[in-house]
Amino acid sequence: MLLQAAVVAALATGATAHVAAWAKGMYCKGGNNASVDNQNTNTAVVPLYNLPFEDFWMQHDRGCDKVPPPSGEFLDLPAGGKFKVELAHNRGQTTLSFGGQYVSDWLDGQQHPEDWRGENAGDCLSDGIMHAQNFQTTSGTAFAISYNSDISKVTLDNLVVFTVTPNSPWKRETYYDVPADMPPCPAGGCYCAWLWVPLGCGIQNIYMQNFRCRVTGSTSTKQVGVAKPPVYCADDQSKCVKGPKQIVVWHQQTGNNVDPQTGGIPVYNGKMGYNPGAQTDIFVGDEDKTPPPAVIKKANNYVGCYADSGNPRTFPVVNQIGESMTPEICLQACTKNGYKYAGIEDGRECWCGQTVPSTQVEDSHCSKMCTGSVQTCGGPSLMEIYSTGVTAPLPLPPLPPASWNPVGCFFDPVNPRALPDRQEISGRVSVANCLAACSGSAYAGLENGQECYCGTSLDGVQQAPNTDCNMLCVGDSRVLCGGSARLNIYSHVPVSSSSTSTSSISSTSSIKSSTAATSSTKSTSTSTSSSTKSSSSSSSSSKPTSTLTTSTKSSSTTSTKPPAATPTTFTMVSVQQSPCPWFTLSDN
């Protein structure tokens, strides 16, 4: 029992590394000490980042190029068939150690649900070193081959990517297809490399791991061509390199062979011209036989492709989710926020709404690749819409404290700020904790879904369309917190005891308003905050959240008044069976 506990503890420590492909024929299988066969090693899993070419190449930085497999041991590649490797954080989590007693279906030896994903849309997996948010954001892994037995003769030009498994690493047992026309290797075997470039959730490392391999069952006389550097082509498939392609070398000190566009990540999938499965265009004379990009199946509940004029937006609420977007991530966000529909636009934007727009276009127009997968995510001014299956009405959040009144949506020129005092909220920003932080100021404003500002005056500040304030608060999934360079502003004024309001009962739970943007707050305990002057530009990153509306109280005021601006009508309606009245903003 003590030995088993020690092994489990060692495995937990080893799992803080990353991922490797474990199989016969690998270099450094037992670690980088050739005289020791370490059953619990993770030497091969450490990623490669910011290294000189000669150090990253073949994992020379840790000496793995000097520790080959035993004589006569190969990774077998059946021509026209498949071969299996085990992807894991540690050799001990594979069947190559301890009789396989510490394995599971997953890389970490643990158990996870089949639809494993982060708690919130856009969150990385709890196993962060998989560099993924869910199955769809796994970027794909690959193998390359060089027909040289002497690894000192292997170069970028003769090391050709021959197979890609999409949506990996994901499960421990992973299979790769071998082209049927692969010729036999020389007597001493070939050199192979396992390859991975993660899509996100951490530093953009690359992985290159060594194997001695051989092609089995082949009678082909074809030759593998000279490899060319791949080209980032997610925005235009005509840019993709045809024929044999090199491995990706990226984020190293020297030797980089790719230069993706701003924000692009050179992963082993269609974004770089690699097709899923066996690469059948790698042979001399077959370079022009590159198959067309694979058709990716739409996510469940696909509704269609719709035009988005932008003014007003097709859907009223945008989710700030980060760099990796897929239909599944947007569906997760809009479902959690209580919306009936999720819309993905321009490859990376996630919008939520309650009704399907009227202007539908051909599905082929929504053709831009998602930032988080090779699925499509709409296009410029084009929204790919999915049904979330939500049918229940949205729960309404409580109103803001009686001493605060919503003023509207305003432009923030940033330099100088409309409201100069930025509050560093402890925890995730919501309307409630921002108003509490600004309790000593005349005005509070929320911007970009996660920023809180205070001020004493709105002199010179211009009002913006209410629909510009469309970002959800990171700290309250039901309410809005401004937009990009847009502030939802509240005024801190006494409420007259004689203040009155009128209401009309709504027979439905929908908000009757000419705009879908409303703002309200949730009753929460306030967080300690400190006020700091800020003139920096707004951050655009945040966790995903939920939805809703800008609520307001109609009341008389006795102190500072907001500046003259475009008249705004405050319409109060009540929701049936709701204890709280609900307010909406509409521009006259």
**pLDDT band of 524, cuts 50, 70, 90:** very low
More confident residue, 212 or 402: 212
Q: How far apart are CA 568 and CA 466, in angstroms?
A: 9
Query: What mean pLDDT comes out for the span 224-251?
Result: 93
User: Would you state the pLDDT for residue 563?
Assistant: 42
pLDDT at 337 over 50: yes
3-state secondary structure of 162: strand
In the Cβ-directed half-sphere of 205, how many Cα atoms lie within 13 Å?
A: 19
Establish if 215 belongs to a structural domain: yes
| Four-CA torsion 216, 220, 225, 231, nearest 10 degrees | -60
Q: Is residue 197 part of a domain?
A: yes
Identify whether the C-beta of residue 208 lies closer than 8 Å to the C-beta of residue 170: no
Residues 364 and 225 in one domain: no
Contact 430, 556 (CB under 8 A): no
Q: Given pLDDT bands bounded at 50, 70 and 90, which one contains residue 17? A: low
Question: Please, what is the average pLDDT of the chain?
Answer: 80
Does residue 429 fall inside a structural domain? yes
CB 280 within 8 A of CB 164: no
Cα 137 from chain centroid (whole Å): 7
pLDDT at 572 over 50: no
pLDDT score for 283: 97
- State both tokens at 503: 């209401």
Amino acid at 80: G
Q: Which CATH number fits the domain that encloses residue 101?
A: 2.70.50
> Is 242 a member of any domain?
yes
pLDDT for residue 423 is more than 80: yes
Last residue of a domain, one of 356, 387, 418: 387
Whether residue 432 sits in one domain with residue 363: no
Q: Is the pTM of this model over 0.85?
A: no
407: helix, strand or coil: strand
Tell me what percent of the residues of the chain surpass a pLDDT of 90: 51
Q: Report the Cα–Cα distance between both ends of the chain, in Å, rounded.
A: 75
Residues 259 and 319 in one domain: no
Sequence-ordered list of residues with C-beta below 8 angstroms from that of 421, at least 6 positions apart, any chain: 438, 441, 453, 454, 455, 531, 532, 533, 534
Boundary (domain end) residue, out of 353, 387, 421: 387
Q: Is residue 572 part of a domain?
A: no
Assign 317 a pLDDT band (cuts: 50, 70, 90).
confident
Q: Are residues 311 and 245 in the same domain?
A: no
Domain that holds residue 470: 404-501+516-564
pLDDT band at 354 (very low <50, low <70, confident <90, very high): confident
User: E strands, 206-297, where?
Assistant: 207-216, 277-278
pLDDT, greater one: 585 or 126: 126
Structure tokens at 267: 């992963």
Q: Is residue 133 part of a domain?
A: yes
In-domain check, residue 507: no
Measuring CA to CA, which residue among 267, 463, 300 is closest to residue 370? Answer: 267
Note whether 320 and 471 are within 8 A (CB).
Answer: yes
Least confident of 18-32, 148-162, 328-342, 530-544: 530-544
pLDDT digits (tens, 9 = 90+) for 51-62: 999 999 999 999
Q: Which of 357, 387, 417 is the last residue of a domain?
A: 387
What average pLDDT does range 156-166 have in this prediction? Answer: 97
Q: What is the 3-state secondary structure (H, E, C) of 324-350?
A: CCCHHHHHHHHHHCCCCEEEEECCCEE
How many other C-beta atoms can be found within 10 angstroms of the C-beta atom of residue 219? Answer: 8
Claim to verify: residue 241 and residue 146 sit in the same structural domain: yes
DSSP code of residue 247 = P
The single residue listed with the structure tokens 């593998």 is: 224
3-state secondary structure of 289: helix
Q: For position 468, what pLDDT does the model report?
A: 84
CA angle 202, 207, 211 (to 5 degrees): 155
Residues 37 and 152 reside in one and the same domain: yes
Q: Using CB atoms within 10 Å of the CB of residue 356, give its burial: 0 to 12 exposed, 13 to 18 middle, 19+ buried.
A: middle
**358 & 429 share domain:** no
- DSSP for residue 264: -
Q: Is residue 570 part of a domain?
A: no
Q: What is the pLDDT of residue 509?
A: 31
* Residue 472, phi then psi, degrees to nearest 5: -75, 145
Spatial distance between the Cα atoms of 523 and 497, rounded to a whole number of angstroms? 22
Q: Which two tokens stand for residue 533?
A: 């002057």
Query: How far apart, in whole angstroms, are the C-alpha atoms of residue 461 and residue 441?
Result: 16
Domain count of the chain? Answer: 3
Q: How far apart are CA 32 and CA 34, in angstroms?
A: 6
Residues 16 and 156 in one domain: yes
Same domain, 269 and 334: no
Amino acid at 366: C
Range of lowest pLDDT (9-13, 295-299, 412-416, 529-533) = 529-533
* Backbone phi, psi, residue 467, to 5°: -70, -15
Q: What are the tens digits of pLDDT across the range 473-487? A: 888 867 888 988 999
Within a 13 Å sphere around the CA of 498, how many CA atoms are in the beta-carbon half? 1
Please check whether residue 527 is in contact with residue 316, taking contact to mean a CB–CB distance below 8 angstroms.
no
User: Do residues 46 and 167 both lie within one domain?
Assistant: yes
Q: What are phi and psi of 331, to 5 degrees?
A: -60, -40
**Under 8 Å between Cβ of 104 and 172:** yes
Residues 470, 363 share a domain: no
Is the pLDDT score of 135 beyond 80? Answer: yes
For residues 548 and 423, state if they share a domain.
Answer: yes
